[in-house]
Structure formats: C-alpha cells, structure tokens
Structure 1
Amino acid sequence: MNAVEFEKIIPGGFFLDDSYIYDDLFFLPKKTIIKDYHVEVLKNWGIEKLFSNGDYYATGVPKYKEEIKELDTLFENNDNAITLENENDDSLPLSPDTIKNDTVSRNDSYKEVYKRWILATVSFFNSVITTKDVNKQHVINLLNDIESFVKRDKDSVLLLVGQNLEGLSRVYRQTLDTVILGLIMSHSLQLSEFAKTNLVLGTFFHDIGMLKIPKSILEKQGVLTPEEIKVIQSHTIIGFNLIRDVRYSAIIASGALQHHERIDGTGYPEKKSAEQITNIGKIVAVLDAYSAAISTKSFRSPVHAKEAVQDLLKLGGAAYDTVILKEFVKNISIYPIGSLILLSNNSPAKVIGNSGVAMRPIVAALIDGKEETIDLSKRIDIYIKGVYVKK
C-alpha cells in the first residue's frame, strides 16, 4: 500500500481507496473528504502515516461529491473550557491560565506545562549536585502544582507518561513520569498527607544519582562489562548520599537507595529482603520499572505499555509487592490511556479512561463511521482483540 505522511493530510483531501492506520487498521472509506476533525484525531492519536491502495489527492474533486459519506458527528470537539485557578505561587508560575477542553489543545497545553516542570526539576537537581543545597519549599511548590493537574484531569496527565519529548533528558522525563504515577498511587492507597509527601519526595529524587554516572556508560550501544554494570548500580548509593546531604530524611532517601531492591532478595545494591525494604522503596521499584520500560533509550526502543505491565505482573510476588502491584495495575490498566487498540468487532479505538478493570478500559471507538464511547467493563459482548504500535 501507499503511505502518506501526516503532514500531507489536510482538510479537503481524499483517498481513491479505503485508508488505513498501520497498514491494516481501517480509518476512512474511499473518496471520503477529510475534514478538520479527522486531522485532529490523527494528531491526537499520534498517527504519522495513513496507508491506502489508492492515490491521495490534497484537494476534493466535485464529481465525487454524490459518493461522499458525510461524517459530521465524528470526533466533534467539546467547546467548553476548563478555567484553571491561579496557584498563588510566585516562585514557580507553572500553571497556564486556561486549558481548552478539546483533546488536542488540552494535550498540547499540558506538554508545555510538562516542559516547564522539567526545567524546574533540572534546576533543583543541579542545585543538589553542585551546591549540596536546595530550596525545599520550591520543590514542594512544584510537586503541589503537578498534583493539582493530576486531580483536575488525571487521564490527560497520564498521556504525558512515557512521551519521548524531543530535547528532554531521559532522567528528567522518568523523574516526572514516576512522580505523576506516585501521586496517583498515593491517592489510590489513601495515604496520609505526611506519607504522601514522603512518597512523592522519595519518587522525585529517586534517580538523581544517575546524573553522576558517565554518559559514555549510560549511552553505550554494546554489552556492558561487569565493571560498567557496577558503576551504573552505584547510582542508588550516590543518590541516597546526595539526598541526605541536603538534609532530607533517610525514609525519603530510601526511594533512591532501594528502588532496585526486589522482595525476593535478588536486587541491588544490598540484596535486601522484603522485610528490609521500605514501603517507599517497594512502591518506587514498581513505578521506576514501568517508566524505564516504556522510555526510549539509546540502545533500545521502548516497550509498549501493555507489555510493560504484563512483565511486571509476571514478576509479581517474586520481585514486587503484590498489593502495590495490584493497586498500580488498577490505576494504569493493562491498556494505558492513549493506547491504540482493535476491538473484537474489528473497530479501531483509543483508550481514553480507566474503568478500574485492568483488561477493560474506557475507549473511544470508530463504529460505522461514528465515534462511540464504550466502558468495556460494562460490555461483555466486546473485548480488546489486539494493540497497535507504531511500525
């Protein structure tokens, strides 16, 4: 089939034959005029190409008008706006004034906020490493700001997790990803304010030691030597010491020290048993493993979120605490938000919400040319047939 880049797909264009996503996932019937909302859904779904056996024309031709199927209700935008309250924090003015409630605008705005969170994180980490000091209130302000977005629109914030945003270091991206996941876990576990603060601070600083590991080792394409593996593993101890140097508690620093420990005693750096690992260490271990799996690295492509969750479940009870793992999967789902899937009725769909049932999320499906929101936890007649990943 012919492939047409997303940049060439414009309103008014059309294909002479049926068009598909990823070669075999049906999108639009032949000769259907492409409209604004079609382009928006392609952008929102992260589609880079459309495929078709027919040629693509960037401008509609009148003689096909009587054959065109109008899909005016497909992916209509909600024009309501969400008004965001000011955070009253002059030190970290991270919140935008407003975010529109259509998916594309909302996600674009959140990405800009995410980048500003990254810049604040870079500043704090540099301060810890270079001056052995950090403004703790400013750190709390940042974490409170992230939490406010999670509370407002958890599903949209989750879409940012695992995004390979250009120009952003993997360490900082994974830091924010695990913080977002840690906040969601703290709410789900109904932690006290004190316990939540400790968990989120432990999550925020858990990988800071990686910044002291030589890039030549972190970005090495080949197999690491035993000596290089030991250097990388030392980031847990380095991180613990950095956090203690700026006078955070040992329980907060345990997130850095113990996030690679495993409850069966096979982890590092100290091969601790389940009883010797703090709850923060156990929680951050799950969050870090998931975030690392779905992140792009110099030596491998990211694992799809579904596979990452399945790998965690395979190790549940051996490597990870089963209670924590169950709570994590309940909030993330086997098919995380943003996943592009195929339903049992052969309709393409995108996961847009979490129903609380791991295998049955809430999806937006294209059925008979129209968008339909389906809570799969309430529909026993439809199930997820497969997941689509970019080729």
Structure 2
Amino acid sequence: MNLVLEKVQPNSALGKTASVDLFDASGMLLLQKGQLITEGIKVRLKKREVYILHNQRNVSFSEAQKVKTFPKDVYIKLVGSLWSIYHDAKLVKPEQIQKTVILVETILEELQTQKFYLDFNVIRLDMEKFKQHDYSTFVHVVNVALLTALTGIWMGYKENSLKYLTLGALLHDLGKLQIPREILNKPGSLTDEEFKIIRKHTFLGEKMLKNSRLSSSVLAMVREHHERWNGKGYPLGLYGKSIHINAQIVAVADVYEALTADRPYRKGLPPYHALEMIISWSGIDFNPKVVQAFRESLILYPENAIVTLNTGEVGVVVAVPTQMPTRPLVRILFDSNGRFLNRETYVDLLQELTRFIGRIEFKEDG
C-alpha cells in the first residue's frame, strides 16, 4: 500500500482546468483532473484543506474488525419503552426522565462491552411490531443515541458526562411529538410554511422539559441540535464553539441517521456514502474534531461483510485505510458476470477511484 494524501496549495485559476485530482483530508474526491474550475468550485477549494495522492510513503491499513450486530431484542425494547414513556407527553415529568435514564444505562452497558456494526437497515425493527403506532421518531432517536454514545466513548467522555450525552440524544427530537403527523410523515417536499412549523420542534422540546429538572447540557442538545458550525443552522444561528459540544455531537449523528434511513420517497444511503457526505461537510456544518471522532467510532466494514461494487463485482473487505475508511481494500470473489474467481484478485479503492461499494451484506457467524 503506497498511496498517501499530501497537502497542497491548489492553484485554482478561474476558467482553467485542474491538472491533477484533488482530494479532501478524508480521501474524498473534490475536483477531478481536467474538470473546469468555476467560481463556485474556486470558493469551495479556498474553504478546504486540499490534498493530492502521492505514492512515496505508506498508508496505514487495519484489518476488518470482528463485530456483532446490535442485539435486536434490546433495540426493540429501547424503541418500545421510549414510545410508552413519551408518545402522549405534553410536559415531561421527573419520573419519565428516571425511566429514560434506565434506557441510557442499557445502551451504555451494551456499547461498552462489545463492538457493534450499526447498519440501521440491518437492525431496524420489523414494522409490523408497532404498526398501530407512529414510532418513526422513536426509532430515529434510538439510532441517534447509539451513534452519539459511540462518539462520546471515542472522545473519552467519563461516566456521568456520557450518561448526560446519551440522555440528551434520546430526548433531542421530543418536540416533534407536538408537530402534526401529516407534516412529519409527508412523502414529498415540505412547503415553506410546513418547514417553519417543523423548525419549531427545537423550542417545543425544550418547553416540554421545563419541569424536568434536567442539566443545561441536555436542554442545549434539545435546543441546539440543528445549529451549524458555520452559523447557518437554527433556531438561534449559533456558530462554532458557541454551540454546546454535546449538541455538536448529536447534530452529526442526527444527520447521518437521517441520510441512511429509508423514507417513503427514497431509499436510505449506504453507510459509506452517508459518511462521505458527513466528512464533506466537516468545517462547514460540523466541528471537524467531532466529525473525526464520529468517523473513527464507526465500523463501516466488519469482518466477513460481503460487498457489491458499482461494477457488479462481489467481494469481501480485507483491510480498511485508517484515514480513509470509505475506500477499503476488497478481495474480489465474483466478477461482474457472476463468475467465481479462482485466483486471488484485489481491488484497492484508494487507487480505483471510479469504483465504489454499492451494497453491504453482513451476517455474523453463528
């Protein structure tokens, strides 16, 4: 493995074409060789650290990790319990918070004892189990809480701080229970007026918790999880470090979960694609340090995962670049015509930039 990203100062002359491929720090292609440099591209490049691929030093790879899927019975219990506590809540009472803390402890007990593969289209519960209820908000917040807790663990949060972080993640979208269901579940684009109504859920959630005696950090997560690093979020237009760090963490998890979730009008994105989008918004929408921790806490390609490339080739991930986990080394088992390959054949997605993983299938042993 002899490819590495080397930082450069791009000569982004307007109206010229790029002389080399340009990448961001994660290995995501920003500008392809030969592409015309427009005004918009020039502005974006000035905002980013830009790299070229160099082949003088070694890239660090790690083996795909042996993991399990998150226990489905625990997952279903978390969603069902959260629904039973809050589905008809108007003002949250301290006893409801106490019940939620028990769910927090369940999440942390699981995540701190075992590494899990969190592909939510694998562990998402059977729709029929809750068909009489509108549980989508509760599925979302449980998924976000799992991702948030993982990030907090990776960032070195201590026990109490981690509990508050996870609790805030479970409560971050509570205000959506006050939003009309027909707007929340609308299968198409929202009107400007509907979007204004949706935006109220941050303050509505904070209002629901006013009698709960919660810490300021939890309330900040409820109020600020749609604020953005560049100041273009809502409801207050906060920017940078003026946004509570816990709200910065849950914001990344919230967007990632939304990208990977199926919607009535679209399929969820594959995890690697969603992560690439999150990385591309680092330093713009999100704190780069939080994005880095989020990226490193995720296991995108577990051991024994079967992947299908956009070319139709099928293989297994054997190694993952530590700095560019969305571009792993894949051993090809079947070619694009479905023929089994007797000889060992590998594709390094760091080099083969026109190839990418289109689908992941993971079944744990046993």
TM-score, length of structure 1 as denominator length: 0.61
Unpaired stretches in structure 1, ≥5 consecutive residues: 1-101
Distance 1:274 1:161, change over 3 A: farther
TM-superposition CA deviations, 1:98-117 (whole Å, max 9, x none): xxxx99xx75x921221111
Larger Rg: 1
Give the alignment partner of residue 101 of structure 2, picking from 140, 164, 184.
140
Amino acid at match of 2:125: L
Q: What are the superposed Cα offsets for residues 364-388 of structure 1, whole Å, 9 maximum, x if unpaired?
A: 9758789x9x9x99x9999994212
How many residue pairs end up in the alignment?
281
Q: Per the alignment, do residues 355 and 199 of structure 1 end up closer, same or farther by CA in structure 2, a change over 3 Å counting?
A: farther
Alignment of 1:23-102 (within 5 A): none
Q: 1:359 aligns with which of 299, 318, 326?
A: 326
Is residue 153 from structure 1 mapped to residue 140 from structure 2 by the alignment? no
Query: How do 1:197-236 and structure 2 match up within 5 A?
Result: 197-236=163-202
Query: Residue type matched to 1:388 in 2?
Result: G
% same residue: 23
Counterpart pick for 1:165 among 96, 116, 125: 125
Tell me if structure 2 keeps the 8 A contact 1:345–1:382.
Answer: no
User: 2:217 matched to 1:251?
Assistant: yes
Match 1:112 to one of 56, 60, 73: 73
> Which position in structure 1 is the counterpart of 2:147?
181
Shifted more, 258-267 versus 165-174: the winner is: 165-174
Asked if the contact 2:72/2:123 (under 8 Å) is kept, the reply is no
The alignment yields a C-alpha RMSD, in angstroms, of: 3.7
CA, structure 1 residues 203+337, in 2 after alignment: closer, same or farther (shift >3 Å)?
A: farther
* Distance (whole Å) between structure 1 residues aligned to residue 199 and residue 230 of structure 2: 18
| 2:42 equivalent in structure 1 | none
Matched, 1:260 2:226: yes
Report if the CA contact (8 A) 1:342-1:385 is conserved.
Answer: no
CA distance in 2, matches of 1:287, 1:337: 24
Unaligned runs of 5+ in 2: 1-65, 335-339, 361-366
Counterpart for residue 291 of structure 2:
325
Quote the Cα distance in structure 2 between the aligned partners of 1:128 and 1:241: 12
Counterparts of 1:363 and 1:245, CA distance in 2:
53
Residue 277 (structure 2) aligned to one of 296, 311, 314: 311
Change (3 A) 1:353 1:166: farther
**Aligned amino acid, residue 213 of structure 2:** R
Contact 1:213/1:235, CA 8 A, preserved across alignment: yes
Equivalent-residue separation in structure 2 for 1:115 and 1:130 (angstroms): 25
The change in CA–CA distance for 1:292 and 1:381 in structure 2 (over 3 A counts) is closer
Displacement of 1:135: 3.8
The corresponding residue for 1:86 is: none
Q: Write out per-residue CA displacement over residues 32-78 of structure 1, whole angstroms, 9 at most, x where no aligned residue.
A: xxxxxxxxxxxxxxxxxxxxxxxxxxxxxxxxxxxxxxxxxxxxxxx
Distance in 1 between the 2:92 and 2:241 partners? Answer: 35
Whole-angstrom distance in 1 between the partners of 2:272 and 2:350: 21
1:163 Cα deviation from its structure 2 partner: 4.5
Q: 1:161 to 1:244 in 2, by over 3 A?
A: farther
CA distance in 2 between counterparts of 1:337 and 1:252 reads 36
Q: Would you say the 8 A contact 2:92–2:212 is kept in 1? A: no
SS in 1 for 2:95: coil
Secondary structure of 1:341 counterpart: strand
Deviations 1:303-328 (A, max 9, x none): 22222111111211011000000111
Q: After TM superposition, where is structure 1 displaced by more than 6 Å over at least 4 residues in a row?
A: 336-339, 343-347, 352-355, 362-365, 367-370, 379-384
Q: For the Cα contact (< 8 Å) 2:231–2:237, is it kept in 1?
A: yes
Contact 2:332-2:341 at 8 Å conserved across structures: no
d(CA) in 1 for partners of 2:318, 2:98: 35
Separation in structure 1 between the aligned mates of residue 107 and residue 321 of structure 2, nearest angstrom = 23
Task: Say whether the 8 Å CA contact 1:161–1:177 is kept in structure 2.
Answer: no
- Larger mean Cα displacement after TM superposition, 241-250 or 228-237: 241-250
Q: What is the Cα deviation at residue 161 of structure 1? A: 6.5
SS at match of 2:356: strand
State the Cα distance separating 1:128 from its structure 2 match.
4.4
AA aligned opposite 2:356: G
Q: TM-score, normalising length from structure 2?
A: 0.65
Q: How does 1:378-389 map to 2 (within 5 A)?
A: 385-389=355-359
Determine if the alignment matches structure 1 residue 242 to structure 2 residue 208.
yes
1:137 deviates by 3.5
Partner Cα distance (1:345, 1:294) in 2: 22
Contact 2:227 2:234 in 1 (8 A): yes
